[in-house]
Amino acid sequence: MTIEYLHTMVRVKDLEASKAFYELLGLRERRRIDHEGGRFTLVFMCPPGQDDGRADVELTYNWDGDEGLPSDSRHFGHLAYRVDDIYALCEKLQAAGVTINRPPRDGHMAFVRSPDNVSVELLQKGEALPPKEPWASMENTGHW
C-alpha cells in the first residue's frame, strides 16, 4: 500500500496578509477554492516549479472569522496524505489502537491524530470508495 504526501494546512486570520507573507518567501497561489456552503476559502501556495502540488501550503480562511487565532494554537491544521485504500488503512490504524476521529463515511476522507495530537487527514486516491460499514454509520470521536 502506498502513501503520498499532499500538503500542510495552516489557519489564517487575514487571508491577504498571509498570502502576501508566503509570496515574500517566494511561493505563489496555485489553486483557490471558495466554499460557499462551508463559508471558507482554501488557497494552495507552492514554490516555483512545483506546480504539481507536492509542496503545497494550504491557507484556510474562515469567512466568519477565527477569533481564537493566534492564541489558541490552531494555526497549524493538519498533514494530508493520499492513500490507495482508505478503509484498509483505517482498519489497520484502528487495530493498532488509533482512534479514527473522523471516519471515512464517504469513502473519501478520514482524520486521525498522532500520539502528539497532530491532526492527519487521509484522502482516498482517485474516486471515493462506495460507503462501507462500520465506517458509514460511525460517529466522529473527539475533534480533528
Catalytic residues: 121
Which residues are within 8 A (CB) of 140 and not within 5 positions of it... i.e. 6 or more apart?
101, 102, 103
Report how far residue 15's alpha carbon sits from residue 21's, in angstroms, rounded to the nearest whole number: 10
The rounded distance, in Å, linking the Cα atoms of 141 and 124 is 20
Radius of gyration from C-alpha coordinates of the chain: 16
Q: CA-CA distance, 126 to 123, in Å (whole number)?
A: 9
Q: Using CB atoms within 10 Å of the CB of residue 53, give its burial: 0 to 12 exposed, 13 to 18 middle, 19+ buried.
A: middle
CA distance 37 to 18: 23
